[in-house]
Amino acid sequence: MKRNPDRSPLITVLRWTSYLLPGDFLKTFFYLHCVAAPRRILHKLTSSFYRMDPLYQVLSEFKRDFNGPFSILEFGTASGYSSAKMLYATRYLHMEDDVVIHAFDSFQGLPPVPGKEDKGIVSSDWQEGQYRGDYERLCAYVESKGYKNHRIHKGYFEETLTPELLEEIKPTRPIFVWVDCDYYEGTRHLFEWLLPILPSGCVFYFDDFEFNYGSRLTGEARLVHEVNQGAFGDNVELMHDRSLSLDSDRVYRFMRLADDQVRYDRKPSPAWEGTPRPIGNGSPLP
Ligand SMILES: C[S@@+](CC[C@H](N)C(=O)[O-])C[C@H]1O[C@@H](n2cnc3c(N)ncnc32)[C@H](O)[C@@H]1O
């Protein structure tokens, strides 16, 4: 048999293995259990997304590269599961004095499905009242742990997202916007409100991006699509951050092309010394 020079050695090994497995049943069994399953496990081990990963990465990045103060905004808090983790992250990284965490929720659970943009086409619909939270319990938790860098805004976004609050938050540049209110309508509302004070580089996390397989027609994914189609101006964009998203489509960086003053205060980096790099400078890699 003439050897095809383009064939990968792996295909050759699989071909020889298949000669040893007579019949379609054995071949299929071998494929499912010895090829497909280990491949899926390896893939999961190396690239599965865990939603607290970007939290620590982003906090560390801003601690290293920029001067505070900063803010993290969580839209949809419910019983405070992720709020508690965010607070602990600021404590662990010694950033409690630099980062204020704002939590927004009605504590009434999800409103009725607002419109067809939030209907489950393949995903199931959320229920009215689902994820109802306990405001007093969350306040007591924050108090008991001694956190001073937390503010809870109780009420529907229509009531709490005021121009006055935006002005108050502005000096603490938002670095992380945690969107977990599930619906397109709420997501659009909060994005419109925040837009004037968003610095380029701010991270957006969309907890339910995969609703309806992440279709641009519905849910949080619809907002990302609309921003990138220019619905909020042709100078703003949400860039998918692959390194923070791993195997998900959930994490984005806000970008704006403008001479705006809404910027992070970057820490000084070493000035360029003015001498060109030597050729063949002993890099450890080819
Ligand atoms: C999935 S839960 C949040 C879960 C929470 N982030 C966690 O990880 O534990 C969604 C929350 O969004 C809140 N929510 C949805 N739309 C809202 C709106 N328009 N105004 C205020 N809260 C809203 C609901 O009350 C609900 O508690």
Ligand 1 pocket, residue 208 CB under 6 Å: no
Q: Are 103 and 169 a contacting pair, CB within 8 Å?
A: no
- With b meaning 16 or more CB within 10 Å and e meaning fewer, what string describes 15-47? eeeeeeeeeeeeeeebeeeeeeeeeeeeeeeee
The two three-digit tokens of residue 108, written as one number:
């009434």
Q: Is the CB of 101 under 6 A from ligand 1?
A: no
pLDDT at 169: 98
Tens digits of per-residue pLDDT, 232-283?
A: 999 999 999 999 999 999 999 999 998 777 899 999 987 777 887 777 767 7
The per-residue pLDDT for 4 is 67
76 Cα to the center of ligand 1, angstroms: 3
Residue partners of 44: CB distance under 8 A and separation at least 6:
none
Round to whole Å and give the CA distance between 167 and 162.
9
Residue 223, CA distances (Å) to 118, 188, 215, 227, 228 in order: 11, 6, 11, 6, 9
Does residue 201 line the site of ligand 1, with CB under 6 A?
Answer: no
Q: How confident is the model at residue 5 (pLDDT cuts 50, 70, 90)?
A: low
Ligand 1 within 6 A of CB of 157: yes
In the structure, what pLDDT confidence band is assigned to residue 70 with cuts at 50, 70 and 90? Answer: very high
pLDDT at 3: 60
**pLDDT for residue 264:** 96
- pLDDT given for residue 17 in this prediction: 83
For residue 181, how far is its CA from the centre of ligand 1 (angstroms)?
4
User: Which CATH superfamily includes the segment(s) 52-261?
Assistant: Vaccinia Virus protein VP39 (3.40.50.150)
Q: Which residues contact 98 (CB under 8 A, 6 or more apart)?
A: 63, 68, 69, 70, 90
- Ligand 1, atom 8, residue with closest C-alpha: 82
pLDDT of residue 2: 57
- Decide whether any atom of ligand 1 lies within 6 Å of the 180 Cβ: yes
Tens of pLDDT along 17-41? 888 888 889 989 988 999 999 999 9
* Ligand 1 binding pocket includes 135 (Cβ within 6 Å): no
Instruction: Please compute the mean of the pLDDT values over residues 102-120 and round it to a whole number.
Output: 94
User: 87: helix, coil or strand?
Assistant: helix
Average pLDDT for 142-169? 98
**CB distance 256 to 235 below 8 Å:** yes
Q: Which one, of 33, 27, 23, lies nearest residue 14 by Cα?
A: 27
User: Which residues 6+ apart lie within 8 Å of 10 measured at CB?
Assistant: none
